[in-house]
């Protein structure tokens, strides 16, 4: 059962544009929602994460928007750069120390 659905599967953005990736979850027990960035041949690296007690979190050019009632969250990358070209995964987990349930990933390409 796919508990975290991610879209789009791939995304092409021009340099300076905004990249938006969306995720929806089913399990209301989830209380931690990270986004991971993965470059080819590397393991995923934590980019930014949010908990359901806030609706938005911003770190530099990266923002997570969270809608608890809709069970959706999204990643916004402002002023997208070619160096942001990577695969992005949303994930969710239950309280501390639990496994992460990942979305299927979005391959982002930022054209110069």
Looking at residue 61, what DSSP letter applies? T
Q: Which is nearer to other proteins, 29 or 46 (CB)?
A: 46
**Smallest separation (angstroms) from other proteins to the CB of 58:** 18
Q: Are 13 and 111 in contact (CB under 8 A)?
A: yes
- d(CA 24, CA 74) in angstroms, rounded, equals 9
Q: Which is nearer to other proteins, 97 or 112 (CB)?
A: 97
**Smallest separation (angstroms) from other proteins to the CB of 29:** 14
**Smallest separation (angstroms) from other proteins to the CB of 94:** 10
Q: Which is nearer to other proteins, 12 or 78 (CB)?
A: 12
Cβ contacts of residue 50 below 8 Å, gap of 6+?
A: 33, 34, 56, 57, 64, 66, 73
Q: Which is nearer to other proteins, 17 or 57 (CB)?
A: 57
CA nearest neighbour of 76 among 52, 103, 44, 47: 47
Where on the chain is the footprint of other proteins (CB under 8 A)? Answer: 4, 6, 32, 34, 36, 41-46, 49, 89, 91, 93, 96-105
**Smallest separation (angstroms) from other proteins to the CB of 25:** 13
Tokens of 34: 């990270």
């Amino acid at each position: 059962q796919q508990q975290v659905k991610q879209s789009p599967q791939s995304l092409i953005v021009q340099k300076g544009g905004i990249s938006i990736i969306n995720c929806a979850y089913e399990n209301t027990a989830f209380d931690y929602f990270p986004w991971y960035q993965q470059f080819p041949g590397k393991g995923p690296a934590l980019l930014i994460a949010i908990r359901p007690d806030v609706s938005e979190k911003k770190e530099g050019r990266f923002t997570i928007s969270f809608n608890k009632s809709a069970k959706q969250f999204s990643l916004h990358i402002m002023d997208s750069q070619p160096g942001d070209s990577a695969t992005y995964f949303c994930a969710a987990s239950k309280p501390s120390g639990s496994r992460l349930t990942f979305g299927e990933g979005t391959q982002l390409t930022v054209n110069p």
